[in-house]
Structure 1
């Protein structure tokens, strides 16, 4: 199963490299796009859930790395939830 990293820039200009166990992330996020924080979190959650289920279908167990990545995204996003105009930019697929 092809895995990939995707790099995002948070509202404070910090950068994170995020992991997906599947290329499905490309169906939900686009390089160069700026997403409102809640939209980015929801799209990431949907894509990482699908990716984890693909791992389950192939190997018989969900992908814990996808769940861990989602937890890190949630933790980062929490820092900006009080900012109504917070956006996350997808910088690259790696």
Structure 2
């Protein structure tokens, strides 16, 4: 299962590399696109949950790194207003 890193820029300009154990993230985020904070949270939760479930289907256990990444994103978005935007810089 190919691991994927997606680089994002938070509204305050901080850039962060995020982890997905699957390329499924490519079905939900587009490099160069900006997302409202609330939409980004929903999209990333959905994509990372699907990625964790793909790992579970293949190996018999969820990917705790995907769950941890989703939790980190959920914690970070609380610093911003829902109308602010996150930009997906790249997916590799």
Same structural fold, with TM-score higher than 0.5 when normalized by the shorter chain:
yes
- Range into which the TM-score falls when normalised by the shorter chain: over 0.9
Query: What is the TM-score with the length of structure 1 in the denominator?
Result: 0.95
Rounded to whole Å, the distance in 2 between the matches of 1:38 and 1:63 is 24
TM-score calculated relative to the size of structure 2: 0.97
- Aligned-residue Cα RMSD (Å) equals 0.8
**Structure 1 residue 84, shift from structure 2 partner:** 4.2
Aligned to 2:55: 55
- Whether 1:90 aligns to 2:88 is yes
Count of residues in Structure 1 that have an aligned counterpart in Structure 2: 92
Name the CA distance, whole Å, in 2 between partners of 1:85 and 1:46.
20
Structure 2 unaligned blocks of 5 or more: none
Deviation digits for residues 15-74 of structure 1 (CA, Å, limit 9, x no counterpart): 110000000000000001110001001000000000000000000000000000011101
Q: Which moved more, 1:42-51 or 1:84-93?
A: 84-93
Over 2 Å off, 4+ runs: none
Where does the alignment leave 5 or more consecutive residues of structure 1 unmatched?
Answer: none
